[in-house]
Amino acid sequence: MFNFFRRLQWKLSISYAFATAGAVIALAALAIAVILYLDESSSSRVYNSFYWSKTGFQDNVPYLLDDPQALQLWLERVQRDGFTSADFQFPPSRETLPYANTLAFQTHPIYVLDPQLNLLAAAPAVDASLLNQPFKPRSMFDFNMEFILEAAQVGDKNYSAQSVLAPDGSRLVAFPLRKSDDDPVSAIVIYSLYPPTFAAPENLALYSSFFLLLLFMLLFVSPPLGMVFGWLVSRGLRKRLTNLSSAAQAWSKGDFSAAPRDTSGDEIGSLTRNLNHMAEQLQSLLHTQDALVRVEERNRLARDLHDTVKQQTYAARMQLSAAKNLLTSDPSAAAEHLESALQLNRETQQELKLIIDELRPAALQDKGLAQALREYAERWQENSGISVTVSVSGERSLPLEVEQALYRVLQEALSNIARHAEAETVGISLSIDSDKASLIVADNGRGFDPNAVSPASYGLTSMKARLSEVGGALEVTSTPTLGTTLTARVNLDAKN
């Protein structure tokens, strides 16, 4: 159970819960206080508005139904001046009378209907022909109010069912009127009112002080406390992530001695252990790859010695043996065989010189890559008899491992051209930008079909391996009879 709470998600959740608890509590307290105040006070004021205005009609209209003229005069006075204390059987207090006069007098009409919805009286007065006739709400109002009339007809006492919000913001109400609660509905009154939505509390100073205190806590207390607490909590987390980042940077440079230790049971601890294991595997893989490259180099060297030096040495031996046999009987023929042996010896010496140059990247010492490539290309041209052109763009120093890799790629490429391409010209282009270095070797030889010939036959495997060690890649384009182009690219950003 406790291991579950060791997860990073829970650590962060709990820590930031403490940091934000104060602000959330303050906001909640403020919101609850405002909501309760507005809800209770507003509901109470709206209810009082409905109740006292209805009571004013309830205490008068049912008793005036038998005297239409008196009813008409009373309605006109109320519509003109509003209610007075004399309009109530139990006069309201000075504080409650204004609720009755939320009635929209002067600006909105008042209608009195019988239970069958026939018009009995109206203020302002209407044409006498409309009295004692069915009330037509659609001709009086431009919105639907039939549902509140239906509620009033059945004597519904739910104020919300007996009122509707008008487009001008007032509330149109239709209240059933009775002489007492046990009597049937004797009339229905229709009028408009403006229920109060907000009134300042009597203890406004107390509410204002409380609000200002909460605002001060939210703006000036909670943020600093949250920042300090968050900094203290995240300090250990930041240190762990910094150690992991430093180790990753060291690994990217080939230094696998950095191995951060993190025994925590959360996700970062698990990630650290997994990355350490990955670094060990990567280091082992690089060692294996280096060993394979060395084996490939030895195999290539053995192949070169077998194909050239060994064959030439054997041929020279045969020439010397023939010269020995003819030395006494045919000296001139023996001399020809000796000359052939000398020529084979010179060719063997040149081939050995090329192989030695390939094995000796010391040519890069005290020289830039561009100069080393030019010198090697000149020597190779002298030995192979193939014309070489070299162009360099953006000459500057590079990391040693990058220079060695590109130098070896050039050696391998020229060696392949000499043995297989049957080319007449070779173009070498070195381009160094701020973020990458490119080496292009192109010949006009016989080319080959990359899909039909194994890349290992042309030493491409070793070239790709060398480039991959420094974050580079090799691209080969070749067409039979049209020549071959090798492009080696190294991303310098990965080496900086």
- pLDDT tens, residue by residue, 419-456: 888 899 999 999 999 889 999 999 999 988 777 766 55
How much is the mean pLDDT over the chain?
78
Tokens matching residue 76: 């006109």
Domain covering 367-496 in this structure, CATH number: 3.30.565.10
Q: Please give the pLDDT value at position 41.
A: 56
Q: Which amino acid is at 219?
A: L
* Degrees, nearest 5: CA angle 99-105-107: 135
pLDDT over threshold 90, residue 207: no
What superfamily in CATH does domain 10-193 come from? PAS domain (3.30.450.20)
Q: Cα 290 to the chain's mean position, in Å?
A: 39
Q: Please give the pLDDT value at position 283.
A: 78
Say if 10-193 and 367-496 have the same CATH topology. no
> By percentage, how much of the chain surpasses pLDDT 90?
11
The order of strands in the sheet holding 187-193 is: 119-123, 110-113, 187-193, 171-177, 163-165
Residue 189: Cβ within 10 Å count: 24
- Which contiguous run of DSSP H or E holds residue 373? helix 369-384
pLDDT over threshold 90, residue 390: yes
Residue ranges per structural domain of the chain: 10-193, 204-260, 367-496
In which band, very low, low, confident or very high, does the pLDDT at 1 lie, cut at 50, 70 and 90?
very low
Checking phi first, is residue 481 left (phi over 0); if not, alpha (psi -120 to 50) or beta? left
Look-up: residue for tokens 């310098």?
A: 492
Across 229-245, average pLDDT: 73
pLDDT over threshold 60, residue 38: no
Distance CA 3, CA 14 (A): 15
Q: Please give the pLDDT value at position 18.
A: 62
Q: 3-class SS at 136?
A: coil
Distance CA 414, CA 383 (A): 11
Q: How far is CA 407 from CA 281, 404, 456, in A?
A: 29, 5, 19
> By percentage, how much of the chain surpasses pLDDT 70?
77
- pLDDT tens, residue by residue, 217-226: 666 666 666 6
In which band, very low, low, confident or very high, does the pLDDT at 324 lie, cut at 50, 70 and 90?
confident
Integer-rounded Cα radius of gyration of the chain: 52
- pLDDT tens, residue by residue, 56-96: 888 998 988 899 999 999 999 988 988 888 888 888 777 77
Across 286-295, average pLDDT: 76
